[in-house]
A and B are shown apart, each in its own frame.
Chain A
Amino acid sequence: MSALPGSAEGTAVTGLDSSPVDASPETLAELPPLTEQTRLEAREIIARYPQPRSALLPMLHLVQSYQGYVSPEGVALCAEELGLTKAEVGAVATFYTMYKRRPTGRHLVSVCTNTLCSVLGGQRIFDALAADLGVHHDETAPDGSITLEHAECLAACDYAPVVTVDYEFYDQQDVDSARTLVAALRRGEKPHPTRGAPLTDFRGVSRQLAGFDQYGDEATRRAAIDAEGAIEPTLAGLRLAAERGEAAPPMPGPGPGQPSADTGEPRETVRPSGRTGETPGEEAADARVAAADTPAERAGAEQTHPDKGAEYGQPRGRQRAGTENPPATEPATGTTPPTSPSPNPPRAQNQEA
C-alpha cells in the first residue's frame, strides 16, 4: 500500500495485527498441558448454552487460564469439542484483543492511552513503563514477569488515568505510582487494587472469565467479592445529593406499580389470550400485525390497529371510543434502526391520539 503524499509509513496505530501465534518448540515444551479436566470444563461451558458454538469465547478464556495464551493445542481442543475447523477457531481467537498470541507474563499490565486518560497522563505512564521494562506494546519483559500493553478505553474515565493488572483496576495513577506498582509486581508482590478484590494473576482471571471460580475456596471467594474499594468518583453524585439534601421525587403512595393517574376504575387485565367478541375489523387488524415481516411493518400495522391506544391502566372499553380518532402515522420509529436516535418516540404519538 502506498502512502498518501507526506505521510510517514508506520506512524499510526491501526487495528491490523499480523503477528503470528507462537508455536515455537521452546514455547510449546514449557506449556502446562491441557488435560482431561480441561475437556470436562469445556463441556461444562458448552452445556450452558442452547447452541454449542456460543461456548467458544469462554472456552478460549479457559485455554488461557491453563496456558497463558491461545496456543495451537488450545485451538485444536476447542475445534474438536465444538466440531469446528481449527481455522474457524483461529479466526475468532485473532479477532479479540484479550486472546493473546504469545504466552503472557505472570501479570498483564494494561495502560489506557485513549484520549481522556492520555490527556491526564496515560501516555506518559505507558512510555515510562515501557522504558523500565525494555518492551514495546504487547511484549513481555525478559524475566517473564510482566506483559505490557496499551489499552483502549477501559470504561473508567471518572478514575482516569487508569492502569489495570490482569484487568484489576489501579485508579488515578501517575508515572511514579505506576512505576512503583510495576516494580512491586516484578518483585513478586501483589499490591492491592483500588476497587477491592485482591490481585491474583492472568490465568486466575481467565478462569473467572470462563465462568469458573478462580479462588478455590468459599471464604476466599466471598472475601474477594465483598472487598471494599475506594470508589469516590462512583459515589460523587450521591454524596453531593446528601450534602445538599436533594432527592428524587417520591414514588406515589401505597400501590407501587399502580399508575398514579388512574381514575379509580377497576384495572382490566389485558391478557394475550381469551380475546373474544372481536369485530371483523379488529380481527383483520390483528392479522395485519401478525403478518408483518419486519418490525417496521409491524409498527405500521400496529399504528392502524384499533387497540393501538390501549395503554396500561386504561380499561379497554374506554379505549373503544378512541377508535374514531384518525390512525396516527408514525413512519420513522419503526424504520429507524435501533442504533439511531428515534425522532418520533411513541409518547409524542400518544399525546396526539
Chain B
Amino acid sequence: MPLAPVLTSRWAEPQSWRLSTYERLDGYTALRTALGMSPDELVSLVKDSGLRGRGGAGFPTGMKWSFIPQPKPGETRTGPAAMPKYLVVNADEGEPGTCKDLPLMMADPHSLIEGVVIAAYAIRSELAVIYVRGEAVHAHRRLVDAVREAYAAGYLGTDILGSGYDLELVVHAGAGAYICGEETALLDSLEGYRGQPRLKPPFPAVAGLYGAPTVINNVETLASVPFVVRGGSDWFKEFGPEKSPGPKIYSLSGRVVRPGQYEAPMGTTMRELLEMAGGVRPGHQLKFWTPGGSSTPYFTPEHLDVPLDFDSVAAAGSMLGTTALMVFDETDSIVEATLRFTEFYAHESCGKCTPCREGTYWLVQILDRLVHGRGTAADLDLLTDTCDNILGRSFCALGDGATSCISSSLKYFRDDYVALLPPEEQARLGRSLRLEPVGVAS
C-alpha cells in the first residue's frame, strides 16, 4: 500500500506546532462541526468509523466512549451516571520500540488538543488531563504552550466557541515509570499514588479517576478523531481493512537504512514498510523484528507479508501493539536482545503481583547465565515453565508482555539458545551447535 499521510500531514510545515499554522491547515474545523452535533451522534460516528485504540490494545474507541454511563431523561441522578466524567489522555509513551506519540505532540500538538475537546464533549466531560511521560520534556514544552494558545483562542475553557460547552484541560507530567502506561496504573499515578494497576472490573468507564466514569485514550487515537469528524466514517474506512481501518503511524527503527515514522493505511505489510525505509542495512539480512513493541511476540522474515492490522497480526501469532517495528539483523543475538527486554520488565514491574515481580527477576537470572555460557539444558524448559507461571496470572499486561519475547524466541530460534550452552549441556540435548556471542553484551 502507498504512504498515506494524514496524522503526519502537517508535520513538515514551518512552525507546525503553532496555532496559526494549525488553523491555516483546517485546524479546529472539526471541533466546530462536532459542537454542532449531539454527543451521542459523535459517539455513533466514531463507532461507525471503526477507529480502534492506537495505544496497543486496539479496543474500539467509539464503544469505549459509549460505556460511560449517562443519565437518562427524567432519571434521578444517582450512581456513576450522576458523577463527573473525565477524559484522560495516555501520553506516557514508553513501550520499547514505540516512538510515535512524542513526535506527534512535538510537531502537531493542536491535533491532539482538538481530539481531546471533541472526545470530552462526546462523553460529556468537563475536565480532561493529558498524562505526559516525564522524560518527554521536549514534547511537554510544546504541548503546554499549545494548550495555552488554545485557551487564549477559546478552544478550551468556558463556553467553547459559543457552544455553551466548558472544558478544562490539565497537562500532567509523569515521573518515570513504564507501568503508568497501563491505564489503571496511570489513574493511580494521576491520583498521586504509586503507579500500580487496579483489578478490573470495575472498568474505568464506571470507576476511573477519583472513582468516577473515565475514558482513557492514547494520543494517536485522539489525534485521529478530528479527521474522522472532518472526513466522515466512510472516508476513514477507505484506509485498510474493514475491521481495523484508518491511517496508522508505523515506527521503524534499528537495522534499517532510514529509520523513522511512516504513515500508511492499516494493513500495510512489513515488506512494504521495509522498502520505504530503504531496507535492512546493506550487506545484511533481516533476522527478527517486533510488530508492535517489546511486549509483542517476535516475527521473522516469514512474516514479512502479514498485513499489519490488529486482526491479521493476532492471527499470525503476535500483536499489533503500537506498530513499533524494531528491526534486527543476523549480527544481533536474539538471546541477548531478549535478556535486555527482560531486564527492562524486571526493572519496570511495579511489584504488586507476585508472579510478575518474582518471575521477571528469575527470568533475568536464567537468561543472564545463558547469555554468558553458563546455562544448562534444563534452563530452556525452565524459561518456558517460568513464563507459563507469569502469563495470565497478574493484574495487568506487563507480566504477559514480559513473556512474549521469551516464548516467541524459543519458538523460532531455539537453536540460538542451544548454541549458547556449554558443549556438555548441548550433548544432553543430543546437539552440537556453536554460535559466537555477538551483539549487545559483547
Q: Which residues in A have some Cβ–Cβ distance to B below 8 Å? A: 3-8, 11-15, 48-51, 53-58, 60-61, 82, 91-92, 95-99, 110, 113-116, 118-120, 123, 151-160, 164, 166-169, 193, 195-197, 205, 208-211, 221, 224-226, 229, 231-241, 244, 246-249, 251-252, 256-261, 269-275, 286, 290, 293-296, 298-299, 302, 310-313, 333, 336-343, 345-348, 350-351
- Asked whether, in the complex, the Cβ of B261 is within 8 Å of the Cβ of A252, the reply is no
- Asked whether, in the complex, the Cβ of A116 is within 8 Å of the Cβ of B96, the reply is yes
- Asked whether, in the complex, the Cβ of B364 is within 8 Å of the Cβ of A12, the reply is yes
* B58 beta carbon closer than 8 Å to chain A: yes
14 CB-based A-B contacts, threshold 8 Å: A5-B376, A13-B346, A115-B341, A118-B440, A152-B348, A208-B137, A211-B144, A226-B15, A241-B2, A311-B44, A311-B48, A312-B42, A337-B203, A347-B60
Which of B100-108, B152-160, B411-419, B426-434 sits within the interface?
B100-108
- Asked whether, in the complex, the Cβ of A345 is within 8 Å of the Cβ of B138, the reply is no
* B175 beta carbon closer than 8 Å to chain A: yes
- Asked whether, in the complex, the Cβ of A233 is within 8 Å of the Cβ of B63, the reply is no
Give chain A residues whose Cβ lies under 8 Å from the Cβ of B259.
157-160, 233, 236
Give chain B residues whose Cβ lies under 8 Å from the Cβ of A274.
73
Q: How many A-B residue pairs have CB under 8 A?
A: 424
* B283 beta carbon closer than 8 Å to chain A: no
* B75 beta carbon closer than 8 Å to chain A: yes
* B286 beta carbon closer than 8 Å to chain A: no
**CA of A336 to CA of B4, assembled, Å:** 31
- Asked whether, in the complex, the Cβ of A209 is within 8 Å of the Cβ of B173, the reply is yes
Nearest B residue (CB) for A113: B340
Q: Which 5 A-B pairs have the closest CB atoms?
A: A236-B260, A97-B176, A237-B262, A233-B260, A157-B253
- Asked whether, in the complex, the Cβ of B234 is within 8 Å of the Cβ of A260, the reply is yes
Give chain A residues whose Cβ lies under 8 Å from the Cβ of B242.
347, 351
- Asked whether, in the complex, the Cβ of A225 is within 8 Å of the Cβ of B145, the reply is yes
**CA of A92 to CA of B191, assembled, Å:** 11
**CA of A33 to CA of B11, assembled, Å:** 43
Give chain B residues whose Cβ lies under 8 Å from the Cβ of A195.
106, 138
Give chain B residues whose Cβ lies under 8 Å from the Cβ of A232.
260
Give chain A residues whose Cβ lies under 8 Å from the Cβ of B102.
155-156
Contact A240:B192 (CB < 8 A) given known A158-B259, A235-B12, A312-B233 = no
- B29-50 at interface with A (beta carbon < 8 Å): 29-30, 33-34, 37-42, 44-45, 47-48, 50
**Option from B177, B376, B441 in Cβ contact (under 8 Å) with A6:** B376
* B297 beta carbon closer than 8 Å to chain A: no
Give chain B residues whose Cβ lies under 8 Å from the Cβ of A259.
45, 48, 232-234
Give 12 new A-B contacts, CB below 8 A, not counting A257-B232, A295-B203: A11-B365, A14-B347, A48-B170, A97-B176, A116-B97, A246-B4, A251-B230, A256-B30, A256-B231, A272-B39, A296-B201, A312-B47
Contact A295:B58 (CB < 8 A) given known A54-B191, A57-B173, A61-B175 = no
Give chain B residues whose Cβ lies under 8 Å from the Cβ of A224.
141
**CA of A340 to CA of B319, assembled, Å:** 10
**Option from A119, A237, A270, A348 in Cβ contact (under 8 Å) with B40:** A270
* B57 beta carbon closer than 8 Å to chain A: yes
Give chain B residues whose Cβ lies under 8 Å from the Cβ of A119.
254-255, 328, 332, 337, 439-440
**Option from B73, B97, B368 in Cβ contact (under 8 Å) with A157:** B97
Give chain B residues whose Cβ lies under 8 Å from the Cβ of A225.
17, 141-142, 145
Give chain B residues whose Cβ lies under 8 Å from the Cβ of A57.
172-175, 189, 192
**CA of A274 to CA of B412, assembled, Å:** 59
- Asked whether, in the complex, the Cβ of B192 is within 8 Å of the Cβ of A55, the reply is yes
- Asked whether, in the complex, the Cβ of A15 is within 8 Å of the Cβ of B73, the reply is no
**CA of A178 to CA of B140, assembled, Å:** 25
- Asked whether, in the complex, the Cβ of B9 is within 8 Å of the Cβ of A338, the reply is no
| Most chain B beta carbons < 10 A, residue from A15, A54, A158 | A158
Contact A238:B253 (CB < 8 A) given known A164-B135, A247-B4, A312-B45 = no
- Tell me the minimal C-beta distance from A11 to chain B in angstroms: 5
* B206 beta carbon closer than 8 Å to chain A: yes
* B98 beta carbon closer than 8 Å to chain A: yes
- Tell me the minimal C-beta distance from B150 to chain A in angstroms: 14
- Asked whether, in the complex, the Cβ of A158 is within 8 Å of the Cβ of B96, the reply is no
Give chain B residues whose Cβ lies under 8 Å from the Cβ of A341.
57-59, 310, 314, 319-320
Nearest A residue (CB) for B322: A155
- Asked whether, in the complex, the Cβ of A248 is within 8 Å of the Cβ of B183, the reply is no
Give chain A residues whose Cβ lies under 8 Å from the Cβ of B59.
336, 338, 341-342
- Asked whether, in the complex, the Cβ of A4 is within 8 Å of the Cβ of B365, the reply is yes
- Tell me the minimal C-beta distance from A200 to chain B in angstroms: 10
* B306 beta carbon closer than 8 Å to chain A: no
- B234-258 at interface with A (beta carbon < 8 Å): 234-235, 238-239, 242-244, 247, 250-255, 258
**CA of A345 to CA of B61, assembled, Å:** 10
**CA of A48 to CA of B66, assembled, Å:** 28
- Tell me the minimal C-beta distance from B257 to chain A in angstroms: 10
Give chain A residues whose Cβ lies under 8 Å from the Cβ of B15.
226
Contact A234:B260 (CB < 8 A) given known A157-B253, A272-B73, A310-B44 = yes
- Asked whether, in the complex, the Cβ of B41 is within 8 Å of the Cβ of A269, the reply is yes
**CA of A95 to CA of B231, assembled, Å:** 44
Contact A270:B44 (CB < 8 A) given known A114-B340, A246-B4 = yes
- Asked whether, in the complex, the Cβ of B369 is within 8 Å of the Cβ of A8, the reply is yes
- Tell me the minimal C-beta distance from B80 to chain A in angstroms: 9
Give chain A residues whose Cβ lies under 8 Å from the Cβ of B29.
256
- Asked whether, in the complex, the Cβ of A7 is within 8 Å of the Cβ of B351, the reply is no
Give chain A residues whose Cβ lies under 8 Å from the Cβ of B101.
155
**CA of A127 to CA of B182, assembled, Å:** 32
